[in-house]
A = this chain, B = another copy of it.
Amino acid sequence: MALPDVQANNPEIKINLTRVGVTDVKKLVEVARSGKRPIIFISTFNIFVDLPADIKGANLSRNFEAIDEVLEEATSAPVYEIEELCGEVAKRLLERHEYASRAEVDMKSEYVIKRKTPVTQMNCQETIDIFADATVERGSEVIKVIGAEVLGITACPCAQEIMRDKAKTELKNLKVKKATIDKFLERVPMATHNQRGRGFISVGVNCDGVDVSLDRIIKIIHHSMSSELFELLKRSDEAYVVEQAHLNPAFVEDCVRDMAMRVVNEFKELPDNSVITIKQINEESIHRHNAFAERVATMGELRKELGVN
Contacts and interface: CB of A to CB of B under 8 A. Distances in A.
Interface of A: 1, 3-7, 11-28, 40, 42, 46, 48, 51, 53, 56-58, 60-61, 64-65, 68, 110, 112, 123-127, 151, 153, 157-159, 161-163, 165-167, 169-171, 174-176, 180, 183-184, 187-196, 229-236, 238-239, 241-243, 245-246, 251-254, 256-258, 260-261, 281, 283-297, 302, 305-306
Q: Which 9 A-B pairs have the closest CB atoms?
A: A13-B257, A191-B191, A26-B127, A19-B294, A4-B161, A162-B239, A64-B232, A25-B289, A28-B112
Majority SS at the chain A contact face = mixed
Contact of A230 (B126, B241, B252, B287): B287
Contacts of A15: 256-257, 260-261, 295, 302, 305-306
B56 A153 contact: no
Copy number in this complex? 4
Contacts of A230: 286-287
A254 to B, nearest CB: 7
A57 B15 CA distance: 45
